[in-house]
Amino acid sequence: MRILLLTHAFNSLTQRLSAELQLRGHEISIEFDIADSVTEEAVTLFRPEIIVAPYLRRAIPESVWSQYRCLIVHPGVVGDRGPSALDWAIQEGASEWGVTVLQAESEMDAGPVWASANFPMRAVKKSSLYRHEVTKAATSAVLLAVERAAGQDFQPQRPCSSQWRPLMRQAERRIDWQLDGSATVLRKMGAADGFPGVADHLFGQDCHLFDAWPESERRGSPGTVIGRRATALLRATTDGAVWIGHVKLGHSIKLPATLAFQDESLTVPELPLAGWWRAAAPTWQDIAYDETGVVGFLHFEFYNGAMSTAQCERLREALAWAKQRPVRILVLMGGADFWSNGIHLNVIEAASLNNGSAADESWRNINAMNDLARDVINTQQQLTVAALGGNTGAGGCFLARAADLVWARDGVMLNPHYKNMGNLYGSEYWTYLLPRRVGEDAALAIMRDRQPLTAQRAVEIGFTDACLSEDSGVFRAEVAQRAADLASDPHFEARLGEKLAARTRDEAVKPLSAYREEELMHMRRNFYGFDPSYHIARHHFVRKSPLSWTPRHLARHRDLGWRIP
């Protein structure tokens, strides 16, 4: 079928659906929901047999849904209606939730149901639920709905009963620090992450709070900030305390809490952890190491996968420490929702807000990423594995590829390209790491075409080495087992020797420093040259400016040569 994906953004769910539908032979084009007239123009050009809306923030115009079958992905169970479906489900502690694919009509979310899928709830933040359970359920429900729509027999039914839940307001999200215990605070902040956050005050200033973590030991006077650790602040509740990782001040951008409150943070005590080992009890720990036998696991739970200069430097320290451990395999686990999305665009933007230079901070950040990637490549005593349990994009993909092996969870989306960010050239040794895996031509095509890769496709083209189970728990168990097998392989020493010999040969042909220098020459132009595209793109990305057009590489119906087959 010819399917138009109408969406607010090309987010990871839309990327996944686009890839899965193409895999099943459907012809896909994408249009961003910018204005009714743009949507009308898109359907006139593409004449879709069906429209699928994975992620919309407004209603489809009647002129479109009255003429074309439009299937809406609603992140709620059958009968649930309204714009804050996941927020209510999390806040009210639902034990099971789901995704419904329903046909657009005049009343929002009230149309006949084409498919649905349910899942047990997990006590996590909304964005995490979205990137795991919701994405999986939405994918299976959309594929079933499209299959049903392609046939003649299926008659979609209206739900027997339905309930309209309004937009959740800040009044309902409000935290009462004198009454709410940690579990309630975690649930309220979880229901609001990564958007819109919980409106609150910190150090006497209006702000929105994001990224809550539990704390098991420390206490204080409810509502007061009682400590800091790296980028996070600790705030006391009635029965303990919670860590606040990110904050948005007024109309500014979302930032690590101790950066948003740079001066104020210094007035509270620092509460460092003793080292890199995973703490025995829950607390805020963005970098954590654990070990099973001769396999070491390095976790880095950086919010949204964004890695600032300081985070790269700390991770590099942790990596250097882990390399000294008596282990044969080092597994770089990344975070639960993202492995890495490259340099930290919000922290870079913040440099310009504080009269500093975004160009200088970009330069520092890319160099810190490069130092980290180089240290991964140059691991002498261990074989390294990047285990991608979450999505990864831009420089994050090449940081992963710096490892000897890359294993990804099925369902993860990879975006191993940079150009979407204002034509950024990219670094992280991609010019060394990519062609040797996929070939020169394919490397250039990946960079040029800017298409996301599914975990399965990434293995097919040779970018990664394995695609493992979709279920996160099963994935982690498989990673641990495979890593243990590698470590006990009788050919381990020979394998390590081959890797070191290959690196020595490569270095003799062209040193890593030369790849880096060439890439940075382009990046210097991106950051300091007179074409400001990267700075403009970053400005709009971090402020979430409304999109004004759909890029041509996605809106295939806008290709000049495109014809209905």
Q: Which residues are near ligand COA by CB under 6 A?
A: 11-12, 194-195, 254, 304-306, 341-346, 391, 393-395, 415, 418, 420-421, 424
- Compare residues 297 and 338 and give the one whose CB is closer to ligand COA: 338
Residue matched to tokens 């034509």: 423
- Compare residues 69 and 524 and give the one whose CB is closer to ligand COA: 524
Residue 558's φ and ψ, nearest 5 degrees, are -95, 0
Among candidate residues 126, 124, 210, 219, the one with its CA nearest the CA of residue 181:
219
- Helix 533-543 to helix 345-353 angle, to the nearest 10 degrees? 100
Q: Rounded to the nearest whole angstrom, what is the least distance from the CB of residue 492 to ligand COA in the complex?
A: 33
Contact by Cβ (8 Å): 255, 246: yes
Give the sign of the dihedral formed by CA 334, CA 340, CA 343, CA 346: negative
Mapping DSSP to helix (H, G, I), strand (E, B) and coil, where does residue 349 land?
A: helix
Q: Rounded to the nearest whole angstrom, what is the least distance from the CB of residue 368 to ligand COA in the complex?
A: 12
- Compare residues 143 and 345 and give the one whose CB is closer to ligand COA: 345
Residue 346 half-sphere exposure, CB side, CA atoms within 13 Å? Answer: 22
CB count within 10 Å of CB 273 equals 15
Determine the Cα–Cα distance for residues 78 and 397; give it in Å rounded to an integer. Answer: 37
Q: Rounded to the nearest whole angstrom, what is the least distance from the CB of residue 490 to ligand COA in the complex?
A: 39
- Compare residues 98 and 393 and give the one whose CB is closer to ligand COA: 393
Q: Rounded to the nearest whole angstrom, what is the least distance from the CB of residue 445 to ligand COA in the complex?
A: 18
Q: Rounded to the nearest whole angstrom, what is the least distance from the CB of residue 269 to ligand COA in the complex?
A: 29
Contact by Cβ (8 Å): 394, 366: no
Q: Which residues contact 525 (CB under 8 A, 6 or more apart)?
A: 425, 531
Where would I find the H helices in 354-471? 358-377, 395-401, 430-433, 435-438, 440-449, 455-460
Tokens, residue 263: 């001066």
- Compare residues 76 and 393 and give the one whose CB is closer to ligand COA: 393
Instruction: Determine the distance from the C-alpha atom of residue 182 to the mean position of all C-alpha atoms in its chain, rounded to a whole number.
Output: 26
Q: Rounded to the nearest whole angstrom, what is the least distance from the CB of residue 391 to ligand COA in the complex?
A: 4
- Compare residues 404 and 428 and give the one whose CB is closer to ligand COA: 428
Q: Residue 313 corresponds to which amino acid? A: E
Q: Rounded to the nearest whole angstrom, what is the least distance from the CB of residue 149 to ligand COA in the complex?
A: 25
- Compare residues 304 and 382 and give the one whose CB is closer to ligand COA: 304
Q: Bridge-partner residues for 163, per DSSP?
A: 80
- Compare residues 30 and 268 and give the one whose CB is closer to ligand COA: 30
Q: Is 79 left (phi over 0), alpha (psi -120 to 50) or beta?
A: left
Q: Rounded to the nearest whole angstrom, what is the least distance from the CB of residue 194 to ligand COA in the complex?
A: 3
- Compare residues 79 and 194 and give the one whose CB is closer to ligand COA: 194
- Compare residues 283 and 304 and give the one whose CB is closer to ligand COA: 304
Q: Rounded to the nearest whole angstrom, what is the least distance from the CB of residue 221 to ligand COA in the complex?
A: 30
- Compare residues 296 and 393 and give the one whose CB is closer to ligand COA: 393
Q: Rounded to the nearest whole angstrom, what is the least distance from the CB of residue 3 to ligand COA in the complex?
A: 20
Alpha-carbon distances of 15 from 203, 284, 369, 450, 459, rounded to whole Å: 40, 31, 26, 12, 17
Alpha-carbon distances of 322 from 231, 290, 367, rounded to whole Å: 22, 10, 21
Q: Rounded to the nearest whole angstrom, what is the least distance from the CB of residue 335 to ligand COA in the complex?
A: 11
- Compare residues 20 and 105 and give the one whose CB is closer to ligand COA: 20
Sequential DSSP letters for 146-192: HHHHHSS----B--SS-EE-PPPPHHHH---TTT--HHHHHHHHHHT
Residue 357's φ and ψ, nearest 5 degrees, are -120, 120
Give the sign of the dihedral formed by CA 323, CA 327, CA 329, CA 335: negative
Q: Rounded to the nearest whole angstrom, what is the least distance from the CB of residue 293 to ligand COA in the complex?
A: 33
> Do the bridges between strand 405-409 and strand 383-388 make them parallel or antiparallel, or are there none, so unpaired?
parallel
